[in-house]
Structure 1
Amino acid sequence: MNRTVHEVRRYEDVRAALADPNLVPEPPAAAEGPAGASMTWLRASVPRFSSGATHARRRALVETELARLDVSQLEEAAAHWPDAATRDAAPHVVRTLAEALGYPEPETVAEAVTAIAAVYFGGEDPAADAAVAHLVDLLSPSGQPHDPSEVAAARICLLVQASDATATLVRQADATPAPASAGARPVERLLHETLRDDPPVRVLRRVAARDTRVAGRDIAAGDLVLLDATAAAPAVATPAPASADARPVERLLHETLRDDPPVRALRRVAARDTRVAGTDIAAGDLVLLDATAAAPTDADAPLTFGAPPRVCPGRDHAMALAAGALAHRRPSLTPFAHLHRKGVPLLLLPNAWDCASAAALAAEGFEAVGTTSLGVAAAAGLPDGAGVTADATLALARRLGRTSLLFTVDMEGGFSDDPEEVADLARQLSAAGAAGINLEDGRADGGLTPVHQHAAKIAAVKAAVPELFVNARTDTYWLGRGHEGTDERLAAYQQAGADGLFVPGLAEPDRIRDIASRFELPLNILYSPTGPTLDELAALGVRRVSLGSLLYRRALGEAVATARAVREGRRPTGDTLSYGDVQSL
């Protein structure tokens, strides 16, 4: 049969074609082989990106299977390779998925799926037919209202996609070379480690000028005391050394799907006349969709997993399997970065303004604290957001760094428009013990730093201090601009190497969900007493919630209210730490 072939290459046009119900996958050849025991039967029975009642029923079977999986546990399971030397991705991801779904004989399942995957998209092989028959027998459920063989076909489809597309994604991402600049330790960190592990002076000699007591021992005047300069310091949250590839695995996968996807072309047939990208498509025409089409922004999803309203239901599961299988490429996560991972409870980050407030919050069980630029500035008698508190910010970081606290620093816009100067301050903050920074694009004049300039600051910081968690903040909502330019800025900051994205002022649930789903980096939201609750934010995909200056402002308010109550002859109410409690912080 003669038919016209149309090629669609623009991203927006490919998305539109994927959403067109008139374009369906090429129908498989007539099912001439025996039911439940041949490749032709399998191709005709699996769920497809299509429409109609049969499609809806088969897709529901797949969604039911996927609903039984915990994505974070799936990623963790995929990280454990039985044979690290071989690292054959296809059987590994199939075996991992089969085990997670509770299928019997995962090893046998993986072997059978390998045979099926070799001819799944075309060709014949008696061994594959035999593998189909074996898996249908093994994976057909009992006691269900659905056709057991159709359920088995849906299960085989899931496993074949893992063997083919997911495993290819793993192989191609793993073959991607690390950026040339990755892996360098900042000089300050190198010096810190040398002084800690191999100091130039290993023993300090001291003489008691008068009687004293050290470490429970009485020291008489004139006694010689030898001090071990190599003594191990108490455990503190120091940044992990940069790995061979400082990119998060999620970033690596996103770039692989964008630049070298496992599926480069999607084939669709027009079930009826339609129109795509200004071109008339006749019923029966073949349409080739370019899955490598460049997206308008880095935030737009690669096309490998389809596009709304027909998105692959296994996208998150495939990405979890791939991320787990690539765990050996993941930089060693710092304790602070780990708190932002999916599968970890939502990070509520309270913000301190001095050592006492930070220590009090840590004593209450908060795993990490941030600093508040308003609190630091106000305590020093300086305005916030004016770029005049660099010294006070660094001084507080150095005081906090002498403790075991895990903390991140609000450094406003970096206190400079020069990316190298911002990176130099970031080095000093990291050397002081900071696990992360906030870097905002809002300016003192109420405007926004140009996107390219703020992205350059982020890139400079990550090049200088790869292990420092950079929370890239955009003030589009904070300054009342709303949606305008937000996605473009976040996409640029993600591309520049940020570790997290912060959108203070954003409180609209649908918009929060949209941003959290569009970007692979963890989303940080500023808590609002009138906004969504913590549970609601977590359900929307938020990974971190900051309290900002709320605690500092509340503390000032309580201090004034307490003084007013005493002046008016009333007893102060509320919790008050004792003198001893504060001394012990």
Structure 2
Amino acid sequence: MTTQSEKARQFQSYHASGDAFIIPNPWDIGSARLLALAGFKALATSSAGYAFSRGLPDNSIGREQMMVHLAEIAAATDLPVSADLENGFGDAPEEAAETIRQAAAVGVVGGSIEDATGRADEPIYPFDAAVERVRAAVEAARALPFPFTLTARAENYLNGRPDLDDTIRRLQAFQEAGADVLYAPGLKSREDIAAVVAALDRPVNVLMGLQGVLLGFDELRALGVRRVSVGGSLARAALGAFLRAAHEMRDHGTFTFTSEAASGNELNQMFTDAERMWGKPHGG
């Protein structure tokens, strides 16, 4: 198995290469192994995807349970894993720092801290507080014995505040605080994405998989985007197929959904191959 330090250096090199890459988001051990077998070179967890797999809405998983999940994903393959760490599971800068330390301790080599509070009355942290939280996370990351890739997220667009100027201001401040990657999930237009990329001098991650956003990887790469993730969309795609199958059985008593289902033999072979490569998975 590749060591955590080796994975960390690999992940760092992907961002420094000058080219873009897709980092898909598994939600459990099986989806992580299938994505690794498909040839992707790094993975990112999805708080939404994992919550759905537990029968919960997004942002309902506590830090202790999330660390169990991260440990499972990090151990599932030899790929570097970056963690969706939400807002660091607490308001105080030290909570964000502690979350980085705990995430590193369970095997991930990168992670994101966002400026969303999780509260409807005040969905985004005030500017100064948001910057202090990123700065604390960066300091915790730099104290680790390997290069932890810290992503800072500006969440305006996912919280009904499509303010490009404020989003760029926050990302620039997060960059100044030391974040390695900048990320504003919810950007939809070429113009907004290009403006964010032009305003920063560090790698920018862009979220695809939102409804109504049809930009392809080559278009994003041409805009200067360095990393593309898909958040909970893979989990939602799988659950969408599941719900369509359930509704077909309930409403029509038919089973045509099986024509598009993955082959049991194929999955058995793929997971057998995965076990040979990475061992028997723990947890799940």
TM superposition score category, shorter chain reference: 0.7 to 0.9
Query: 5+ unaligned residues in a row in structure 2: which ranges?
Result: 275-284
* Greater share of helix: 2
- Sort the Cα spacing of 1:511 and 1:563 in 2 relative to 1 into closer, same or farther, 3 A: closer
Shift of 1:520: 0.6
1:565/1:572 contact within 8 Å kept: no
Give the structure 1 partner of residue 258 of structure 2.
Answer: 572
Query: 5+ unaligned residues in a row in structure 1: which ranges?
Result: 1-233, 241-332
Deviations 1:371-418 (A, max 9, x none): 1111112222333235x4312220011112324231111011000112
Give the structure 2 partner of residue 343 of structure 1.
Answer: 18
- Trace 1:306-321 onto structure 2 (pairs within 5 A): none
1:525/1:546 contact within 8 Å kept: yes
2:110/2:151 contact within 8 Å kept: yes
1:342/1:543 contact within 8 Å kept: no
Q: Give me the whole-angstrom Cα distance separating, in 2, the residues matched to 1:437 and 1:577.
A: 34
Q: Give me the whole-angstrom Cα distance separating, in 1, the residues matched to 2:171 and 2:155.
A: 11
Give the structure 1 partner of residue 277 of structure 2.
Answer: none
Indicate yes or no: 2:8 matched with 1:235.
no
Give the structure 1 partner of residue 35 of structure 2.
Answer: 361
Alignment-mate amino acid for residue 235 of structure 2 = Y
**Which of 208, 227, 234 is residue 551 of structure 1 equivalent to?**
234
Q: Give me the whole-angstrom Cα distance separating, in 1, the residues matched to 2:50 and 2:117.
A: 18
| SS of alignment partner, residue 470 of structure 1 | strand
Q: Give me the whole-angstrom Cα distance separating, in 1, the residues matched to 2:6 and 2:160.
A: 36
| SS of alignment partner, residue 220 of structure 2 | helix
- Sort the Cα spacing of 1:442 and 1:239 in 2 relative to 1 into closer, same or farther, 3 A: farther
Shift of 1:470: 1.1
| SS of alignment partner, residue 477 of structure 1 | helix
Alignment-mate amino acid for residue 401 of structure 1 = A
Shift of 1:524: 0.9
Alignment-mate amino acid for residue 544 of structure 1 = R
Alignment-mate amino acid for residue 423 of structure 1 = A
Q: Give me the whole-angstrom Cα distance separating, in 2, the residues matched to 1:573 and 1:419.
A: 51
Normalised by the length of structure 1, the TM-score is 0.42
RMSD: 2.1
Q: Give me the whole-angstrom Cα distance separating, in 1, the residues matched to 2:82 and 2:24.
A: 10
- Sort the Cα spacing of 1:520 and 1:484 in 2 relative to 1 into closer, same or farther, 3 A: closer
**Which of 499, 505, 517 is residue 180 of structure 2 equivalent to?**
499
2:168/2:199 contact within 8 Å kept: no
Q: Which has the larger radius of gyration?
A: 1
**Which of 101, 123, 126 is residue 450 of structure 1 equivalent to?**
126
More divergent stretch after superposition (568-577 vs 403-412): 568-577
Q: Give me the whole-angstrom Cα distance separating, in 1, the residues matched to 2:257 and 2:55.
A: 30
**Which of 465, 476, 484 is residue 156 of structure 2 equivalent to?**
476
Q: Give me the whole-angstrom Cα distance separating, in 2, the residues matched to 1:562 and 1:398.
A: 32
- Sort the Cα spacing of 1:424 and 1:550 in 2 relative to 1 into closer, same or farther, 3 A: same
Shift of 1:238: 2.6
Shift of 1:464: 1.8
Normalised by the length of structure 2, the TM-score is 0.83
- Trace 1:11-30 onto structure 2 (pairs within 5 A): none
Shift of 1:364: 0.3
Shift of 1:492: 1.2
1:352/1:375 contact within 8 Å kept: yes
Matched-pair identity in %: 32
Shift of 1:475: 1.1
Indicate yes or no: 2:257 matched with 1:581.
no
Deviations 1:449-486 (A, max 9, x none): 12222222222222222221111110112223221411
State the number of aligned residues: 258
Give the structure 1 partner of residue 136 of structure 2.
Answer: 460
1:440/1:472 contact within 8 Å kept: yes
1:359/1:405 contact within 8 Å kept: no
- Trace 1:257-296 onto structure 2 (pairs within 5 A): none
Q: Give me the whole-angstrom Cα distance separating, in 2, the residues matched to 1:400 and 1:236.
A: 14
Shift of 1:560: 2.4
1:237/1:405 contact within 8 Å kept: no
- Trace 1:24-423 onto structure 2 (pairs within 5 A): 234-238=1-5, 334-344=9-19, 346-385=20-59, 388-403=61-76, 404-423=78-97
Shift of 1:532: 1.7
